[in-house]
Structures are given as structure tokens and as C-alpha cells.
Amino acid sequence: MTTTDPAFADLLARGELTVRGRIRDASNAALYCTVAHEGREATCVYKPVAGERPLWDFPDGNLARREVAAYEVSEATGWGLVPPTVLRDGPYGEGMCQLWIEVAPEAELLALVDGEEPEPGWRAIGFAEVGEGRTALLVHADDGRLRRLAVLDAVINNADRKGGHLLPTADGRLYGIDHGVTFNTENKLRTLLWGWAGEPLTGEAVDVLKGLRAALEPSGALTGTLTPLLTPAEVEATRARVDELLESGRHPEPGGEWPAIPWPPV
């Protein structure tokens, strides 16, 4: 099976979940697991709702559902930017279960460079202090996969797109993870992927957004999928963000009411 095979979602949902360890650097409880069913086995991440830390701007106990909702929107785009993710019961209660992705360590998507302008093939994010009064330019790759992810983040209102949430693989795919703080009804877009801010959306992105808009009609398939995962106001806000992107025809720009870049950026 490839990571985009729908059978992975079935395996994650139906398989026997066995905890193998804990991911220490996660902000919420994140457990490294295996899941097995009818001779198939995979590694995955299980984040129980019971291990979610309360946040002042998101309701308690529903970060797992937002992770699943992000996967469902990604699937609706056809881009496959989020690993297979399901909501299921586990050893510590209900939680999110997501396929583990092996990262290609040699892939370079972010960098700190000297100078005031990025080199060809890179996009500027902003300046960062790197110690002893020295600043460097933070850049991300001018990569079509990242550009698609920037569009997805704008749709789901991702408040935490850090570098560590970007997973390039050896077969050339790119995945984004950690989507618990998404779908807020207020504008909270906070990301490293500002390199295309204000630029026209690609024709491909416009076509994808039109498809999402149709699927987000009150009787649309995506609305039906998101309804058990989000509040009606959050589904409506998602529909409105797609409308705004289609109306402007451009990548969003940072707003002044919310920090535009997550910190630390990794």
C-alpha cells in the first residue's frame, strides 16, 4: 500500500492499537504505536483526547477532531497533503490516530541565510535573531508542494504551521502534520509559508478551491463529513474562507491582529 491508499484509513480505524512509546517533544500527549488488522500492520501516532492541554482560544477536548477534519479537507482537494487520519477509541480513550511518515532527512525546505534577499529557488519569510545581535533571513523553498500546503492552511485556518510540521518523503511527497489548532472562526492563520503572500493563486489552486466550495454547500459531501467533527459556525467559516480566496484570487497576506509567524519556527 502507498500512504495515499484508502486502505490505510481502514487499517487505522479497525486495527488493534498497541502503544510502543511516547513522543517526548509533542505539546500534547502523542504516542508512537503500531496498528494491526488481518495480516496488515503499520506504525502510527495516537493522540488521546485525555492528553490534550486546554487552550484559551479553542474548546477543550476537540483537537483530535480538528486533526481529522484537516485530513478530510486535504482529501477533498485531491492533493493528499495530510497523512491518513481517523478518530477512534484507543488504550487511553478516544483520540486521533494518524499514519506515521518516514522523513527524508536530506530534504531541505527551510533555511537561515545571510543577506536581505533570498537566492533563486527560495522565498523570504522574514528576519530572525540568531544570537549576539545578529539577524538572518528565514526562507522556505519555492516548492509547488509547499504552495499547495499554503493554500490548504488558508482554508483550514492553521494557527501553527511550523517547520517541524513539514514531512518530505523519499518518494517526493510532502505531508503536513499537527493540525489540532485549525478551523477557528476567527482569523488565526500563523505559518512559515508566507513566501507567496499577495501573489495570484495558481490555476490549479483556483480549480481545487472551486471544487471545495461545491463540496461545502449545505448539502455537499464535505459538509456532511465535517459536521460531526466541527461546529456549524466552524463549517460556515471554512466555507467563507474558500469564498474569500476565490474572490481575491490571491494568497492571503499576514494580518495585524495576530502573530503571523509561529515561534519557535521549528
Examine the pLDDT at 55 and tell me if it is beyond 90. no
Amino acid making up residue 101: I
Q: Look at strands 85-90 and 122-131 and give their pairing.
A: unpaired
Give 158-174 pLDDT, tens digit per residue. 999 999 999 999 999 99
Domain hosting 31: range is 6-99
C-alpha cell at 112: 537561515
Cis preceding linkage at 264, omega within 30: yes
Write down the pLDDT at residue 2. 54
Report if residue 61 sits inside a domain. Answer: yes
Report if residue 146 sits inside a domain. Answer: no
Write down the pLDDT at residue 258. 73
C-alpha distance from residue 112 to each of 87, 115, 169, 190 (Å) = 37, 10, 22, 19
Closest CA to 216 of 64, 48, 49, 69: 69
Give 1-32 pLDDT, tens digit per residue. 456 677 899 999 999 999 999 998 888 899 99
Report if residue 17 sits inside a domain. Answer: yes
Report if residue 84 sits inside a domain. Answer: yes
Confidence (pTM): 0.95
Give 101-144 pLDDT, tens digit per residue. 999 987 889 998 988 899 999 999 988 877 777 888 999 999 99
Amino acid making up residue 203: G
Give 79-89 pLDDT, tens digit per residue. 999 999 999 99
C-alpha distance from residue 243 to each of 54, 74, 183, 206 (Å) = 31, 17, 15, 11
Report if residue 142 sits inside a domain. Answer: no
Report if residue 64 sits inside a domain. Answer: yes
Domains in the chain: how many in total?
Answer: 1
* Cβ-Cβ contacts under 8 Å for 13 (sequence gap 6 or more): 86, 88, 97
Q: Identify the residue whose cell numbers are 533555511.
A: 111
The Cα 166–Cα 108 span in angstroms is: 10
Task: Please name the residue ranges forming H helices in the chain.
Answer: 6-14, 63-77, 144-156, 203-215, 221-226, 232-248
Report if residue 118 sits inside a domain. Answer: no
Report if residue 29 sits inside a domain. Answer: yes
The Cα 241–Cα 219 span in angstroms is: 18
Give 214-236 pLDDT, tens digit per residue. 999 999 999 999 999 999 999 99
